A and B are shown apart, each in its own frame.
Chain A
Amino acid sequence: MHAISFQDVSYEVTQKKILSQITGHFTKGRITTLVGPSGAGKTTLLKLCNGLLTPTTGQIHILNRAYEEYSPPDLRTTVGIALQAAPMIRGTVYDNLALPLTLKKQTLPPQKAAHYLEAVGLSKDICQQDARDLSGGQRQRVSIARTLINEPAILLLDEITSALDQAAADSIEKLIMQLNQQHDVTVIWITHNLEQALRVSDEVWVMIDGKLIQQGTPAILQQPTHQQVQQFTEGALR
């Protein structure tokens, strides 16, 4: 079953094509990484999946339902996104964790907050800490936990480990793989680190200049058959 499928999807801003005729799908329950050089349109593609942007042309289906059938809040809670900068609202870690429920006028019980913090490898003691005082790694973990509060069926991750040291990045990788395996969450993950892509991916999308060049198993990165993919992997691994 497809978690998300694209049929001829393009996205333009002031007549500049950012994404060009993307056709492909993300498989439900799998981890798919999006790789490609900067400016390839990867973040734009994630924002289309979460409804932060709307395609100029083409069809998107989310869990076999047309994109247009979802209200924006429904789409965004079904397809959660952890943004690259892991922005925090003013207030404590608890305020940030509770945000998805606060927006629905619900409250997050403290024990549930503690549970989510533990799930992302953080101590519940940081609940009352100012969210803006967190380290980069802690921010990313809180950001992921906050996205998970909505219990999304699909989780979009935008270079969430790019600003972290290796130890923090490794532990977040493990966390995401656990979430995928234990909770059947579909993960779509932008990474610029090809070794990370090889470690975590079930499937890979290679994007260059707004186009989907190739999709398949991680083998397409290990033994590239497509010339553009080969050039990209040689440059990225050099």
Chain B
Amino acid sequence: MSYFTLSLTLFFILIPLVLSKTLRLDLERDVLVATVRAIVQLLLVGYILTFVFEGNHPLYMLIMIIIMITTAVLNARKKGQHIKGITWKLAVTITTVEVVTQGILLGFKIVPATAQYVIPISGMMIGNAMVLSILFLNRFAAEVDAHQDEIELILSLGGTPKQAIHHQLIQAIKAGVSPTIESQKTIGLVQLPGMMSGQIIGGADPMQAVQFQILIIFALLTNAAISSIMLGFLSYPALFTKQMQLLKEQ
């Protein structure tokens, strides 16, 4: 695709701009900022990926993965600022997701250990773990807030923090894992996943694209389970004092 052809896609930006102006949605500035950021970030990533793929050196891959994890952690932690130590808890969770996924894929030689495979799959896994972490943190905060009296009741009867918060923790973990399971049920019927579509548009054999997609959705299921459960069990103790009292936001 030439840059001229690519520039024609800016028509897609014109439509929301015109709609926003006409309906006075006041979103023009946000649309323009998002557009410029998308162009700059993606072109930059394109150049960096070209460099990393051509170099194909493990160190470059490691640096890319560390940058991805750091960005994901910094983004997700905004939703968990009420949880003490949320930054390292997210870092441990997302790193574990990446290590387990790549460990299985590379350990069993399911994909070759080259940048062309490791980097895009890492991007999908880390990005997904970030989104699921945010989902979990939002739901967990809402559950605890709505059921403070039940949590305090269990503590008042001599229960431990883990017993007191068990129900809220399980609900938030389920809320984190369910969207992944639900989207797997309709995959291919309702939506063609982005990676598969990209491969098909890029000229790959559809069956090969499907095989890779199956690999990804299975990995995403592990990803969902690890990120919600691990973050949940790392986070809940921070909501209690040493004397087993529920910390309330003042």
Contact = CB atoms under 8 A, between A and B. Distances in A.
Partners in one complex: yes
Interface of A: 13-14, 50-54, 72-74, 76-77, 80-81, 83, 85, 87, 89-90, 99-100, 103-104, 146-147, 150
A159 B116 CA distance: 67
Q: Which 5 A-B pairs have the closest CB atoms?
A: A72-B244, A73-B158, A87-B149, A77-B158, A103-B159
A134 B167 CA distance: 22
B154 A99 contact: yes
Contacts of B167: 89-90
A29 B157 CA distance: 21
Given A52-B245, A54-B241, A76 B150 contact: no
A51 B156 CA distance: 8
Interface residues of B, number: 18
B154 A52 contact: no
B81 interface: no
B243 A87 contact: no
B48 interface: no
Interface string B217-250: 0000000000000000000000001011100001
Given A54-B245, A103-B163, A89 B150 contact: yes
B149 A76 contact: no
Contacts of A14: 250
A209 B60 CA distance: 64
Interface of B: 149-150, 152-160, 163, 167, 241, 243-245, 250
A83 B152 contact: yes
Contact of A150 (B157, B243, B250): B157
B209 to A, nearest CB: 45
Contact of B244 (A73, A89, A90, A147): A73
Contacts of B241: 54
A163 B241 CA distance: 32
A76 B243 contact: no
B250 A76 contact: no
A137 B167 CA distance: 26
A51 B157 contact: no
B156 A103 contact: no
Given A72-B243, A77-B158, 11 more contacts: A51-B243, A51-B245, A74-B158, A81-B156, A83-B156, A87-B150, A90-B167, A103-B160, A147-B157, A150-B157, A150-B158
A73 B154 CA distance: 10
Contacts of B243: 51, 54, 72
Q: Which of B156, B167, B241 has the most CB of A within 10 A?
A: B156
Contacts of A85: 149
A136 to B, nearest CB: 15
A52 B152 contact: yes
A13 B152 CA distance: 18
A90 B157 CA distance: 16
Contacts of A89: 150, 153-154, 167
B167 to A, nearest CB: 7
Nearest to A89: B150
A53 B155 CA distance: 11
Contacts of A150: 157-158
Given A51-B243, A51-B245, A53-B245, A76 B155 contact: yes
A72 B160 CA distance: 9
A87 B160 CA distance: 18
Contact of B158 (A53, A90, A104): A104
17 contacts: A13-B250, A50-B156, A54-B241, A72-B155, A72-B158, A73-B158, A74-B158, A83-B152, A83-B153, A83-B156, A87-B149, A87-B153, A89-B150, A99-B157, A103-B154, A103-B160, A104-B158
B153 to A, nearest CB: 5
A110 to B, nearest CB: 20
B174 to A, nearest CB: 15
Nearest to B240: A72
A175 B76 CA distance: 53
Contacts of B245: 51-54, 72
A73 B156 contact: no
A73 B250 CA distance: 25
B65 to A, nearest CB: 42
A52 B156 contact: yes
Contacts of B155: 52, 72, 76
Contact of B159 (A53, A73, A81, A146): A73
Given A54-B245, A87-B149, A90-B167, A76 B156 contact: yes
